[in-house]
Amino acid sequence: MCLAVPGKVLKIDNYKGVVEIGNMKREVFMHLIPDIKVGQYVLVHAGCAIETIDEEEAAKTLEIIKELSENEIC
């Protein structure tokens, strides 16, 4: 199963950028979304931003992921 995680674009430098996901910052490749802007939200999968997403949808998705991790049974 594959999962893309939403994050906010903080910095862009050519085809790499820094994305904030929750309280973590990650460097990701931005080449699949050449017209992306700082402040927008993207879905990140396997180290690549693959799609833009609006802020409301990003917040909903992060909340669902948080709930799932809190209810995980090991």
pLDDT per residue as tens digits for the range 26-72: 999 999 999 999 999 999 999 999 999 999 999 999 898 888 888 76
pLDDT per residue as tens digits for the range 7-32: 999 999 999 999 999 889 999 999 99
- Domain layout of the chain by residue ranges: 5-70
Residues 13 and 59: their CA atoms lie apart, in Å, by 25
Residues 37 and 39: their CA atoms lie apart, in Å, by 6
The CATH class of 5-70 is mainly beta
Q: Give the torsion sign (CA, 10, 36, 21, 50).
A: negative
Residues 66 and 31: their CA atoms lie apart, in Å, by 28
